[in-house]
């Protein structure tokens, strides 16, 4: 069951377009598990594949993952900036401009 949920999380994350972000909670809700935001985060923090753009996932306040799996928060921010993501401050994405809507 856990492996199946992980695969579904990765499928959703692969579909996040460049220049956009989603939150852990959005991914959980999209998969029908609204209480599983933390599980989504844990799954993404265990990701070892560079093909899964987990840098495009932030918390509900837009905060990047300071312990991002591929080089820490600075690397996550660098990747997002390259894609045109705007930040409100050093560690918070401007969700109004970059968040994929829940629909």
Terminal-residue alpha carbon distance, the chain:
26
The enclosing domain of 84 has a CATH number of: 1.10.10.10
For residues 38 and 28, what is the distance between their CA atoms, to the nearest angstrom? 9
Q: What is the pLDDT of residue 103?
A: 59
Model pTM score: 0.92
Q: What is the mean pLDDT of residues 20-48?
A: 95
Q: Per the structure, how many domains does the chain have? A: 1
Q: How many CA atoms lie within 13 A of 19 on its CB side?
A: 2
In a domain, 73, yes or no: yes
In a domain, 17, yes or no: yes
Which residues is 57 bridged to in the sheet? 22
**Domain that residue 23 falls in:** 2-98
How confident is residue 101, by pLDDT bands cut at 50, 70 and 90? confident
Q: What is the pLDDT of residue 1?
A: 45
Hey, which residues are catalytic here?
A: 54
In a domain, 92, yes or no: yes
In this predicted model, what pLDDT tens digit does every residue of 43-97 receive, in sequence order? 998 888 989 999 999 999 999 988 776 778 899 999 999 999 999 999 999 999 9
Q: What is the pLDDT of residue 2?
A: 58
In a domain, 103, yes or no: no
């Amino acid at each position: 069951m856990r492996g199946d949920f992980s695969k579904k999380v990765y499928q959703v994350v692969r579909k996040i377009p460049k220049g956009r972000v989603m939150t852990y909670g959005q991914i959980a809700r999209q998969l029908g598990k609204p209480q599983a935001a933390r599980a989504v985060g844990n799954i993404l923090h265990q990701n070892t594949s560079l093909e899964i753009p987990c840098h495009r996932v932030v918390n509900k306040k837009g905060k990047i993952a300071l312990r991002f799996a591929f080089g820490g928060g600075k690397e996550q921010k660098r990747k997002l900036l390259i894609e045109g993501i705007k930040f409100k401050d050093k560690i918070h994405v401007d969700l109004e401009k970059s968040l994929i809507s829940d629909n």
